[in-house]
Chain A
Amino acid sequence: MIHTVFVAGLSHRTAPIDVREHLALDEDKLREVLSDVAGRGVCSELMILSTCNRVEVYGVAEVPGEAHGAAFRHMTAQRGMDFQALEPLLYTKTGPEAVLHAFRVAASLDSMVLGEPQILGQVKDAFALAQSCRVVGPTLHALMSQAFAVAKRVRTETEIGRYAVSVSFAAVELARKIFGTLDGKTVLLIGAGEMGELAARHLQDQGTLPVYVANRTWGRAQDLARDLAGTAVRYENFPSVMAEVDIVITSTAAPEPIISVADVEAVLRARHERPLFFIDIAVPRNVEPAVNDLANAFCYDVDDLRSVVESNLRERQREAQRGEGLVEREVGKFVDRLKDLEVVPTIVSLREKLEAIRRGEVARALGRLPGADEATKQAIEALSQAIVNKVLHGPTVKLRDSSRAGQGRRWVEVISEVFGLGAKSRTGPEP
Chain B
Amino acid sequence: MNAVVFDVALTAYIVAAAAALGSLFGRREDLARFARLLTVAGWACHTGAIILRWVDLRRAPVLTLAEGVSVVIWVAVLFGLWIEHRYGITTFGAFFLPAILALGLGLPTGLRGLALEPQLQSGWAVVHVALILVGLAALVLNFGSALMYVLQERQIKAKRRGAFYYGLPALETLDHLTLVTLTVGFPFLTVGLVLGILQAWGVLQAGRSWGGLLAGDPLALFSLVMWLVYAATLSGRAVGLWRGRRAAYFAIVGFCVLLATLGAGAFFHGRHGS
Residues of A near any B CB (own CB < 8 A) = 159, 163, 174, 176-180, 272-275, 292-293, 295-296, 298, 300, 304, 307-308, 311, 315
Q: Which residues of B contact A296 (CB under 8 A)?
A: 243-245
Considering only residues 168-182 of chain B, those with a C-beta below 8 Å from chain A are 169-173
Q: Are B242 and A177 in contact (CB under 8 A)?
A: no
Q: Which residues of A contact B160 (CB under 8 A)?
A: 311
Q: Are B170 and A176 in contact (CB under 8 A)?
A: yes
Q: Which of B156, B170, B243 contacts A272 (CB 8 A)?
A: B243
> B146 → chain A, closest Cβ, in Å?
14
Minimum CB distance partner of B168 in chain A: A177
Q: Which residues of B contact A298 (CB under 8 A)?
A: 156-157
Minimum CB distance partner of A175 in chain B: B170
Minimum CB distance partner of A304 in chain B: B159
Q: Which residues of A contact B169 (CB under 8 A)?
A: 180
> B259 → chain A, closest Cβ, in Å?
26
Q: Which of A295, A307, A308, A315 contacts B244 (CB 8 A)?
A: A295
> A296 → chain B, closest Cβ, in Å?
5
Question: B interface, by DSSP: helix, strand, loop or mixed?
Answer: loop
Q: Which of A273, A292, A308 contacts B157 (CB 8 A)?
A: A292
Q: How far is the CA of A311 from the CA of B173 in the complex (A)?
A: 24
Residues of B near any A CB (own CB < 8 A) = 152, 156-157, 159-161, 165-166, 169-173, 240-246
A-B CB pair tally, cutoff 8 Å: 54
Decide yes or no: A179 and B172 within 8 Å by CB, A292-B157, A308-B161, A311-B161 being known contacts: yes
Decide yes or no: A275 and B156 within 8 Å by CB, A176-B170, A178-B171, A311-B161 being known contacts: no
Q: Are A178 and B161 in contact (CB under 8 A)?
A: no
13 extra interchain contacts, Cβ-Cβ under 8 A, other than A273-B240, A307-B159? Answer: A176-B170, A177-B171, A178-B156, A180-B169, A180-B171, A180-B173, A272-B243, A273-B243, A273-B244, A298-B156, A300-B159, A311-B160, A315-B166
Q: Which of A163, A180, A300 contacts B170 (CB 8 A)?
A: A180
Minimum CB distance partner of B245 in chain A: A295
| 19 contacts across the A-B interface (CB closer than 8 A) | A174-B156, A177-B171, A179-B170, A179-B171, A180-B169, A180-B171, A274-B243, A292-B159, A295-B244, A295-B245, A295-B246, A296-B243, A296-B245, A298-B156, A298-B157, A307-B159, A311-B160, A311-B161, A315-B166
Q: Which residues of B contact A292 (CB under 8 A)?
A: 157, 159
Q: Which residues of A contact B152 (CB under 8 A)?
A: 177
Q: Are B156 and A177 in contact (CB under 8 A)?
A: yes
Interface centre among B169, B172, B246 (most CB of A within 10 A): B172
Interface centre among A274, A292, A295, A307 (most CB of B within 10 A): A295
Minimum CB distance partner of A272 in chain B: B240
Minimum CB distance partner of B246 in chain A: A295
Q: How far is the CA of A319 from the CA of B67 in the complex (A)?
A: 46
Decide yes or no: A177 and B157 within 8 Å by CB, A273-B240, A295-B246 being known contacts: no
Q: How far is the CA of A86 from the CA of B169 in the complex (A)?
A: 50
Q: How far is the CA of A177 from the CA of B165 in the complex (A)?
A: 9
Q: Which residues of B contact A180 (CB under 8 A)?
A: 169-173
> A275 → chain B, closest Cβ, in Å?
6
> A405 → chain B, closest Cβ, in Å?
35
Q: Which residues of B contact A174 (CB under 8 A)?
A: 156
> B149 → chain A, closest Cβ, in Å?
11
Minimum CB distance partner of A318 in chain B: B27
Minimum CB distance partner of B242 in chain A: A273
Interface centre among A159, A178, A272, A304 (most CB of B within 10 A): A178
Decide yes or no: A178 and B242 within 8 Å by CB, A304-B159, A308-B161 being known contacts: no
Q: Are B170 and A178 in contact (CB under 8 A)?
A: yes
Q: Which residues of A contact B242 (CB under 8 A)?
A: 273
Q: Which residues of B contact A272 (CB under 8 A)?
A: 240-241, 243
Q: Which residues of B contact A178 (CB under 8 A)?
A: 156, 170-172
Q: How far is the CA of A72 from the CA of B255 in the complex (A)?
A: 71
Interface centre among A163, A176, A293, A296 (most CB of B within 10 A): A296
Q: Which residues of A contact B243 (CB under 8 A)?
A: 272-275, 296
Q: How far is the CA of A295 from the CA of B240 in the complex (A)?
A: 13
Q: How far is the CA of A150 from the CA of B246 in the complex (A)?
A: 47
> A319 → chain B, closest Cβ, in Å?
10
Q: How far is the CA of A159 from the CA of B167 in the complex (A)?
A: 12
Q: How far is the CA of A296 from the CA of B241 in the complex (A)?
A: 11
Q: How far is the CA of A98 from the CA of B173 in the complex (A)?
A: 47
Q: Which residues of B contact A293 (CB under 8 A)?
A: 157
Decide yes or no: A177 and B170 within 8 Å by CB, A292-B157, A295-B245, A300-B159 being known contacts: yes
Interface centre among A180, A275, A298 (most CB of B within 10 A): A180
Minimum CB distance partner of B155 in chain A: A177
Q: Are B170 and A273 in contact (CB under 8 A)?
A: no
Q: How far is the CA of A178 from the CA of B152 in the complex (A)?
A: 9
Closest 9 CB pairs of A and B: A272-B240, A180-B170, A273-B243, A180-B173, A311-B161, A180-B172, A295-B245, A304-B159, A296-B244
Q: How far is the CA of A178 from the CA of B153 in the complex (A)?
A: 9
Minimum CB distance partner of A301 in chain B: B159
Minimum CB distance partner of A271 in chain B: B240
> B83 → chain A, closest Cβ, in Å?
14
Q: How far is the CA of A310 from the CA of B170 in the complex (A)?
A: 21
Minimum CB distance partner of B157 in chain A: A292
Q: Which of B171, B241, B246 contacts A275 (CB 8 A)?
A: B171
Q: How far is the CA of A174 from the CA of B161 in the complex (A)?
A: 11
Q: How far is the CA of A294 from the CA of B157 in the complex (A)?
A: 10
> A228 → chain B, closest Cβ, in Å?
24
> A394 → chain B, closest Cβ, in Å?
43
